[in-house]
Amino acid sequence: MAASREDKGGVVYGIRLRDSCDYRYVGQTSLSAPVRLRKHFQVAASGRKTPFYDWLRKQDRSDVIVDVLDCCGTRDDLGETETAWIAYLRFEGQPLLNLSGGGLGPSGIEWTAEMREAARVRSTGRPGIHRYGPEAPFYGHSHTPEQRAKWVDERKGTNSGAANPNFGKFGAEHPSYGHTVSDETRAKLSEQKRGERNPNYGKKASAETRAKMSAVRKGRPMPSSRRSAHTRHHTNKVW
pLDDT in tens, 25-44: 999 998 899 999 999 999 99
In the chain, helix, strand, coil percent, each to 5? 45, 10, 45
Whether the CB-CB separation of 82 and 36 falls below 8 Å is answered with: no
Structure confidence at residue 235 (pLDDT): 67
Which residues does residue 17 pair with via DSSP β-bridges, in sequence order?
64
Structure confidence at residue 1 (pLDDT): 40
Structure confidence at residue 233 (pLDDT): 67
Give per-residue pLDDT as tens, 89-100: 999 899 999 988
> Under CATH, to which class is 10-110 assigned?
alpha beta
Structure confidence at residue 4 (pLDDT): 46
Structure confidence at residue 158 (pLDDT): 77
Structure confidence at residue 97 (pLDDT): 93
Which one-letter amino acid corresponds to residue 76?
A: D
- How far is Cα 228 from Cα 217, in angstroms, rounded to an integer? 14
List, for the chain, all residue ranges whose pLDDT scores fall below the cut of 50: 1-6
